[in-house]
Amino acid sequence: MRGFTALAERLEPAALAVELNRFYEIASRAIFLHDGTLDKLVGDQVMAFFGAPIERADHAERAVNAAREIFSTMSAGAAKNLRLGAGISTGEAFVGNVGGGAVTDYTVLGDTVNVAARLQGEAGAGEILVGEETYARIAGQFPGAVRRELMLKGKSEAVAAWQIV
């Protein structure tokens, strides 16, 4: 979400929770509809991955379609005042349980995940930014996408990204 801190400043905590829960419901529904795995609800963000635990050749397309559906549903309904940005990256990642003892978490880890998080941070309201490998898989659907070179936090070199929405 964009502007969440300002929203939190204006709303009572209970009203803020209502808005956040509306976003989580919409996002979760779209992720599951496109066979994604909801990894985490992180404050004003959701983290999901596609292609695991069931491998799917079209996982990049599914991720993009889920993001587009979240944007569309949010802007059409009662949550239209909440502004969103999304980042999607495709590549190898560790998928499995991390942690130890009584606390474990089924998640994804690796550079691909970090790039997605950084792209999300760079995306403006209404933007979906995708990494190079993601765009290679969906380019035919978005021939007018705008290419950007971004210096992402923690990366030693610029990363190519495409703004598809």
Q: Distance between CA 28 and CA 66 in Å, rounded?
A: 9
Task: Answer whether residue 81 shows pLDDT above 80.
Answer: no
State pLDDT tens for residues 92-114.
999 999 999 999 999 999 999 99
Task: Answer whether residue 77 shows pLDDT above 80.
Answer: no
Quote the pLDDT of residue 165: 79
State pLDDT tens for residues 35-49.
999 999 998 999 999
Domain total of the chain: 1
Range of the domain at 74: 4-163
This model's pTM is above 0.85: yes
Q: Which residues, 6+ apart, have CB-to-CB distance to 89 below 8 Å?
A: 112, 113, 115, 116, 119, 130, 131, 133, 134
Domain of 97, CATH number, reads: 3.30.70.1230
Q: Distance between CA 157 and CA 106 in Å, rounded?
A: 30
